[in-house]
């Protein structure tokens, strides 16, 4: 491996999907003993400084990967150089991330579920306006992606 991977997960608000993706991937990376930096951000700045959504926090705790300490932030121009990989949770996030990319961006930018064979092009659906069941679907999706991604980095 040439460069230490640094992975940024990006959704809209950085309070539901991307903190869960961060937690799931951190768990997998630790399990495989990967040396990797992990963070998350939102394309919007609406929740800057806030902890993740209580439903996401409760779920993460139940899954053994608490996210109570996280604070939402908006993606910034320096993220495009600091991170080697930026993963969008859905295609709108992907379009927004690409649109804001500075000219000197070096990160590989992609859709998260593209790393799961058979799920290419799919979105991790936004659970914000739904109920707890939607967050379980989010956890299933980000965990599946986290396993595939961690495996990919382990094989580099
Ligand atoms: P996230 O979910 O992008 O997965 O963090 C959302 C969080 C907040 C809002 C929408 C989606 N919002 O409209 O405030």
Rounded CA gap, 40 and 24, in Å?
12
In a domain, 1, yes or no: no
71: left (phi over 0), alpha (psi -120 to 50) or beta: beta
Give 82-104 pLDDT, tens digit per residue.
999 999 999 999 999 999 999 99
Q: How far apart are the first and last CA of the chain?
A: 6
In a domain, 96, yes or no: yes
16 in ligand 1 pocket by Cβ < 6 Å? yes
Give 25-41 pLDDT, tens digit per residue.
999 999 999 999 999 99
How many C-beta atoms surround the C-beta of residue 30 within 10 A? 13
Task: Flag whether pLDDT at 2 surpasses 70.
Answer: no
In a domain, 94, yes or no: yes
d(CA 42, ligand 1 centre) in Å: 9
In a domain, 131, yes or no: yes
d(CA 127, ligand 1 centre) in Å: 8
In a domain, 47, yes or no: yes
**Domain containing 139: what range?**
6-154
15 in ligand 1 pocket by Cβ < 6 Å? yes
Domain of residue 122, CATH code = 3.40.50.2300
pLDDT class of 1 with cuts at 50, 70, 90: very low
Q: How many domains does the chain have?
A: 1
In a domain, 148, yes or no: yes
pTM of the model: 0.97
Task: Flag whether pLDDT at 5 surpasses 90.
Answer: yes
In a domain, 110, yes or no: yes
d(CA 1, ligand 1 centre) in Å: 35
Give 67-81 pLDDT, tens digit per residue.
999 999 999 999 999
126 in ligand 1 pocket by Cβ < 6 Å? yes
């Amino acid at each position: 491996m040439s460069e230490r991977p640094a992975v940024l997960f990006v959704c809209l608000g950085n309070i539901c999907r991307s903190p869960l993706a961060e937690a799931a991937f951190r768990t997998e990376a630790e399990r495989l003993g990967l040396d990797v930096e992990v963070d998350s951000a939102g394309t919007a700045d609406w929740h800057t400084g806030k902890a993740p959504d209580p439903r996401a926090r409760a779920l993460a705790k139940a899954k053994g990967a608490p996210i109570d300490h996280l604070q939402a932030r908006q993606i910034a121009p320096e993220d495009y150089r600091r991170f080697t990989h930026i993963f969008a949770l859905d295609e709108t996030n992907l379009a927004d991330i690409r649109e804001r990319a500075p000219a000197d961006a070096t990160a590989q930018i992609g859709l998260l579920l593209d790393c799961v064979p058979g799920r290419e092009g799919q979105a991790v659906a936004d659970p914000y306006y739904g109920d707890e069941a939607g967050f379980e679907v989010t956890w299933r999706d980000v965990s599946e992606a986290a396993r595939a991604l961690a495996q990919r980095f382990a094989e580099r």
